[in-house]
Amino acid sequence: MRSAGFIILIAFLGWSCQNIDSAPASKRNTFIHLYEGLTSYAGVLAKEIPGGYLVLGNSVIYEDSVISFIITTDLLGNEITTTTIPDLSAKSLTILKDGSGYILVGDSIEIIPGADPAANTEIYSTKILKVSNTGSILKTLRITDRDTAQQRVKIDYKASSVTVNEFNQVLLLGTYKGNILNPERPFLASFDPNLTTLLWTQNYDLLDRNYVNGKSVHYSNGKIVWASAILKPQGAFNDSYLSVPLIQENSIFLNDQFYKENESQLLLAGDIQPAFAPEFGFGVIGTYGTTGGTETNMVFLRLNQQGSLIPGSPRYFDGLLSEGNLTLPLETDSQTEDQGLALASTSDGGFILAGSVLSTPTFGSGLRDIYLVKVDANGNPLWNKIMGGTGDEVVSSIIETQDGGLLFCGTNTLGGFSNVFLIKTDAFGNLRN
């Protein structure tokens, strides 16, 4: 497997050389790093920590057997320590505000032979872990509804994302599903910082459709906000629209902003992030496409602090048609298959959008490439960049670092073998020496 990783590294280095601009000799602050193992690795997210970065990923050992790992690195992405967590498909990680460690959430997946199919033979339980800064697991909780004696699961629980409030209280967003005929719906659960007490929980049984949650949930002035796709299968295609719920803590919806709920299309929620200045609300990134077509676009829209859509804010981007830093005149215009996957606010008041674009015979480097779009506070595009090698590169998270650069994490696949990539660029998406 090491030889496969070497081939991937060469492909990435070839790409990086194409994007390094001439610059005077200086301390290097951009890089590309790949992390690999004996099995395929998938990147989940990266966070900045004092003196370096934290990388979260998963490794599939065999079907339904997943091991998660946390890699700590220095400021150049060099691996320092690795912690592995068995029986966990990691979904999200947040850093405790008092610096005492991390909260990690994900799923435990189990197959029960002979179980009632209507109750699911593939069992999902949500796991929540408190991990110290040195990688020690301090506490583990499981949310499950398994009846072991009858080999029957009444409810499957799946994690989506996790965050903490100003008091370090933990908030978990997930979904629950009663049986194979029931829709998948959201739930929230809150715990004390040490995961010793369940403070409250709420299930939201609102619509007869599946909720497909985006990758983030946020506390905002005592309220909770996230983004979901409200999805209904339509034969071979999925019909969905966007939902951004705003909820009073341990209570009901204060607002539930729908977008394109009266139209038929594929509209998926990638991520939601608050603006750098809270009074400017939130940004949401996603993927838009017609239900019967193969072309999709990256979509970005803004909401105010109350969770309501700002009129005129939606913007659509196509990897090929938006090369001149233009938004599309019609959301249905598309010449490439694009996805909007991750989002970060930036200190200049704007946002950086990250996704993927599928190469065509005359465009791109092959398979899926990384697609970055920088927008100002009003969502107007400032620049865009497409990066990639001959493999398949898919971004899972992006942040602005303290030095003003960009750090993004994801998965690179070549020849059926996948690695985690961690890329640090300058503020304009450039790799520099």
**Contact call for residues 422 and 33 (beta carbons, < 8 A):** yes
User: 243 or 23: whose pLDDT is higher?
Assistant: 243
414-424 per-position pLDDT tens digit: 888 999 999 99
Q: Which tokens hold the place of 191?
A: 């715990």
Residue 18 belongs to some domain of the structure: no
Domain assignment present for 108: yes
Is 137 domain-assigned?
yes
Domain count, the chain: 1
Per-residue pLDDT of 18-71, as tens digits, reads 332 223 334 568 999 999 988 899 999 999 999 999 999 999 876 667 899 999
Average pLDDT along the chain: 85
pLDDT recorded at residue 19: 32
**Residue 109 located in a structural domain:** yes
pLDDT band per the 50, 70, 90 thresholds, residue 147: low
Tens digit of pLDDT for each residue in 358-393? 876 556 666 889 999 999 999 999 999 998 887 899
16 domain residue, yes or no: no
The pLDDT of residue 116: 56
Question: Cβ(318)–Cβ(333) under 8 Å?
Answer: yes
Give CA–CA dist 347/397, Å, rounded: 17
Q: Which amino acid is at 161?
A: S
Nearest by Cα to 316 from 267, 276, 245: 267
* Residue at 102 is within a domain: yes
The answer to whether residue 92 sits within a structural domain is yes
Give yes or no for residue 230 having a pLDDT over 50.
Answer: yes
What's this model's pTM, rounded to 2 decimal places? Answer: 0.89
In a domain, 69, yes or no: no
Distances (CA, A) of 144 to 9, 126, 136, 147, 158: 40, 7, 24, 9, 10
3-state DSSP assignment of residue 380: coil
Taking CA atoms, 349 is separated from 362, 375, 400, in Å, by 35, 9, 12
Single-letter residue type at 330: L
Confidence of residue 394 (pLDDT cuts 50, 70, 90): very high
Query: Which range of residues forms the domain containing residue 169?
Result: 87-204
